[in-house]
Amino acid sequence: MDTTSLSPPSSPDTLTDRDVMLSIAREVIEARAARDGYTPGAYDAKHDPEGYVTSLVNALHQWCARYRIDWEKELIRAQGFFEQDLAESEPETVSLPLPTIQELQCPACGNREAFVIEVSECLVLFRDGTVLHGDPGEQWGDWSYCRCHACDHAGTVYQFRTINQAEGEVQSNG
């Protein structure tokens, strides 16, 4: 009996976040193509000859400008999620331990003293104005928005970890 049988490559319960994102991308590209008269399934979304990816990025940029959503911040957060999905879809990737503030360094100016980091925290909010802090407290990680307090260079915490920066990339020396 063959004990090395392989499971199907994409059964529904093994969909990664990356698979879901790719499926969403196909849907919106095909929706954009339908606007130009393509019948469902007729457009070559993989090669995008009409440039609908550019059109959709522009559409999202217009949306953010119209409704005062911070476009630059959205791009940075999207990059963080992209890197996270990519890492999770490659099982051989060794995950790093959680970041600490002591190991962060600005990849642009070399600052190590202070960073603006977006943290999340679950609070219990009562009708009378009382606020209770949740047990886990403030949480942040590799994919959190991070901005240098010295030069305003922005990215994700992952990009600010010295372990992820190439030797000699930062000009300052200690």
Q: Do residues 78 and 143 touch, judged by C-beta distance below 8 A?
A: no
Residues that bind Zn ion (CB under 5 A): 106, 108-109, 111, 148, 150-151, 153
Which residue, 45 or 146, has its beta carbon nearer to Zn ion?
146
Looking at the Cβ atoms of 43 and 160, the one nearer to Zn ion is: 160
Q: In angstroms, give the least distance from the CB of 133 to Zn ion.
A: 31
In the bound complex, what is the minimum distance in angstroms from residue 153's beta carbon to Zn ion?
A: 5
For the record, the structure tokens of 9 come out as 């490559």
- Least separation, in Å, of the C-beta of 98 and Zn ion? 22
Q: How far is CA 140 from CA 94, 117, 134, 136, in A?
A: 20, 8, 14, 11
Given the complex with Zn ion, which of 33 and 106 has the nearer CB atom?
Answer: 106
For 45, residues 6+ apart whose C-beta sits below 8 A from its C-beta are: 26, 29, 30, 33, 52
